[in-house]
Amino acid sequence: MSVIDPQDLRDAVIDDRERGLFRVKRTTMTADAVWQAERKRIFDRCWLYLGHDSEIERPGDFVRRKVAGRPLVFVRGKDGRPRAFYNSCTHRGARVCRQDRGHAKSFQCFYHAWTFSTEGKLVGIPDKEGYAPAVDAEELGLRPVARLACYRDFWFVSFAPDVESLEDYLAGAKEYIDLVADQGADGMRVLPGTHQYACNANWKLMVENSVDGYHGAPLHHTYFAFLAGQGDDDGAKQLRSTEARAYDLGNGHAVVDYPAPFPRAVARWHPIYGEDAKDELRGIRDELAERCGEERAHRMAETCRNLLIYPNLLLLDVAGLTLRTVWPVRPDHMELTGYALAPRGESDAQTRRRLEGFNLFLGPGGLATPDDVEALEACQEGFAATAEDYSDISRGMHRDAATVDELQMRAFWREWQANMLGSGHGAHDEGPKPAPAGAAS
Amino acid sequence: MSAAAVSDALLTRLAVEDFLYAEAALLDAWRLDDWLALFTADCRYYVPATDLPDGDPRATLGLIDDDRTRLRGRVDRLNSAKAYREFPWSRTTRLVTNVRVLADHGDRLEATANVAAWRYRKGDEQTLVGRLGYVLARRDDTFAIQAKHIVLTAEALRPHGTLSIIL
């Protein structure tokens, strides 16, 4: 099946607000036609995460990225301006940049040695006299991605020239990005080293899982048992606290916002850090309060957030601070990348605490993420028998949504369905709006 | 090198090989408590990120950076039926080869080896290949592991997915 019937898409999501029922047909996670349509209607239409400003600090710095299957180069030009190009020679299409990251004066294609500047201009054609004047170097620069924009050092691209502005697109997610970006007085940076892994399941399952508070206690028992053994026995309970909320942030973005159930290297001391860490964490907490006010300092230090930026970026401000991208490869296979963020200029001891907490929970070698991957693969395996059935995502539809509810996933699916039907943004009128900045969380 | 020195070096290497083969056998048999007992109290177990094999656990993101406490936690987890990625256990076979003693400081020595591990589970085959670096403390007629450093050869944990077994 290469074409998808709009009626099938309408039937794919049951959104019965009166009865409090929300269900998603599992073929949305198995059918190749759905995945082909997602490429055009979601990944070619949305703003997609490219990289962080700190990854290309100096003019000439570059990183290679694959965004929605397209090879791109994210490079800071000699003029200091970041740009995003398709990593493909305008001559015959070969990949021009062949390293994952580095520093370049120019990019020379190894096939016929056409050379491009870091601003993307074609500056060298060997034996140029062999071309008629119609072959114009001015027109043959590296092709830029249609749109490139930045919010608080997070750079996004869109393949749709007419996409709305990034700020409009991010909607209510901006305030939550701010709660990360403001953790460092001098901004944030991506630490070297990335988690590059994969999962044999549909990409939307990882999006759901990354903002799912309901699974924390049962699936991650072994992780919380470890923390309990270190003198913190209230970990998993925090997820069920009355302060643990979920919010629909508009345009498919959503967040769960809850008291920290883990050590937080921002400034939540935990026995695992040892007594020596207390003074430094208190100092960081004081600086946050002075710079950002007590309310925001409290949110940054003592509460956690799993933020979904639709369609596939997760900003997980949890045991560690991570950016996770979820890239579909096939309906039943996704590639995952995790980056660690830290305040610029933080102490070595603090970076170490941050990394230890990060590794313990998150990533393919952590005590928790492997079980997430296992659970999603188990779902995908189950779909082989039950693809015509519906998955239930109704939890908390009759009340102000808590972290252990599923409002955040419904926000994703409502946007997904609207995008797939070509009807713009979804209707996001269920549940309370997030607390305005400065109000009690 | 004199014949006596060659003989000493060979005997040391044989002792290290015996130790590493026994370690691999414990892991293949999922005798994880016995495996953990091979480590010193001040041990470190480190797996750098696949894109940063020279990573420094103090400043860069790696895959695993365990001290004794966290390694104990990792073993407790894998001993549990609630470590869902590894319960039921995967079947594994580890080949440890290319063993070399790099430096002998008397009370401790540095050694390196290659590892190839096959992991089978749920119809999937996963191959994990890498280089092992050890700091071994001499204990009577055997060793204790003070540091184990595993550099994976793979460019990414793809298609593996995760690193859920202990290498």
Whichever domain contains A256, its CATH number is: 3.90.380.10
pLDDT value at A417 more than 50? yes
Residue A368 lies in a domain: yes
Is A435 contained in some domain? no
| A88-92, A265-269, B40-44, B145-149: range with lowest mean pLDDT | A265-269
Which of A6, A7, A42, A15 has the alpha carbon at shortest distance from A411? A15
Q: Are residues A352 and A257 in the same domain?
A: yes
- Do the domain assignments include residue A6? no
Name the residue facing B158 among A197, A222, A373 (closest C-beta): A197
CA–centroid distance for A387 within its chain = 27
Give CA–CA dist B7/A441, Å, rounded: 71
Q: What residue ranges define each of the domains in chain B, with the CATH number in brackets?
A: 3-152 (3.10.450.50)
CA pair distance A222, A207, nearest whole angstrom: 22
Contacts of B123 in chain A (CB under 8 A): none
Tell whether the model's pLDDT for residue A322 goes beyond 80.
yes
CATH number at residue A81: 2.102.10.10
Which range (A349-358, A362-371, B130-139) has the least confidence?
A349-358
Radius of gyration for chain A, computed over Cα atoms and rounded to the nearest angstrom? 23
Confidence of residue A234 (pLDDT cuts 50, 70, 90): low
Q: Total domain count for chain A?
A: 2
* Rounded-to-integer distance, Cα B61 and Cα A266, Å: 17
Residue A142 lies in a domain: yes
Residue A145 counted as domain residue: yes
> Which of residues A353 and A62 earns the better pLDDT score?
A62
Domain assignment of residue A59, yes or no:
yes
The residue of chain A nearest to residue B84, with distances taken between CA atoms, is A371
Its pTM stands at: 0.95
Q: Nearest-CA distance from B158 to chain A in Å?
A: 5
Rg (CA), chain B: 16
Reply yes or no on whether the pLDDT at A235 is more than 80: no
Q: What are phi and psi of A211, to 5 degrees?
A: -120, 20
Max mean pLDDT among A47-56, A254-263, A395-404 falls in: A47-56
**Model pLDDT, residue A233:** 60
- ipTM metric: 0.96
In the 3-class helix/strand/coil scheme, how is chain B assigned residue by residue?
CCHHHHHHHHHHHHHHHHHHHHHHHHHHCCCHHHHHCCEEEEEEEEEECCCCCCCCCCCCCEEEEEEHHHHHHHHHHHHCCCCHHHCCCCEEEEEEEEEEEEEECCCEEEEEEEEEEEEEECCEEEEEEEEEEEEEEEECCEEEEEEEEEEECCCCCCCCCCCCCCC
Q: Spell out the alpha helix ranges (H) of A362-402.
A: 369-386
Single-letter amino acid, residue A207: V
A89 and A226 in a common domain: no
To the nearest 10 degrees (0 to 180), the angle between helices A277-292 and A294-302 is 140
Round the average pLDDT of chain A to a whole number and report it: 93
Query: A5-33: per-residue pLDDT in tens?
Result: 999 999 999 999 989 999 999 999 999 99
Report which of A254, A291, A288 is spatially closest to residue A268, judged by C-alpha positions. A288
**Residue A164 C-alpha, separation from nearest chain B C-alpha, in angstroms:** 35
Q: Mean pLDDT over residues A301-323, rounded?
A: 94
Of A195, A221, A369, the CB nearest to B49: A195
Q: Tell me which of B52, B61, B166 to substitute to probe the interface with A (most A C-beta atoms closer than 10 Å).
A: B61
User: What is the rounded CA–CA span in Å between residue A266 and residue A424?
Assistant: 37
Q: Tell me the chain B residues in contact with residue A209 when contact means C-beta distances shorter than 8 Å.
A: none
Instruction: Please check whether residues A269 and A352 belong to one and the same domain.
Output: yes
Asked whether the beta carbons of A262 and A252 are under 8 A apart, the reply is no
Determine the Cα–Cα distance for residues A350 and A301; give it in Å rounded to an integer: 14
Task: Write the pLDDT tens digit of every residue in A377-410.
Answer: 999 999 999 988 999 999 999 888 999 999 999 9
Strand A48-52 to strand B62-67: parallel, antiparallel, or no bridges (unpaired)? unpaired
Q: Nearest Cβ partner of A371 from B55, B57, B85?
A: B85
Q: Residue A109: what residue type?
A: C
Residue A69 lies in a domain: yes
pLDDT at B107 over 80: yes
**Domain range holding A92?**
49-150
CB-based contact B63 A195, cutoff 8 Å: yes
- What pLDDT shows up at residue A2? 53
Mutate to test the interface with A, among B52, B77, B162 (most CBs of A within 10 A): B162
Please check whether residue A161 lies inside any domain of the structure: no
- Summarize the confidence of residues A73-89 as an average pLDDT: 98
Question: Which of these, B79, B13, B68, B26, lies nearest to B45 by C-alpha position?
Answer: B68
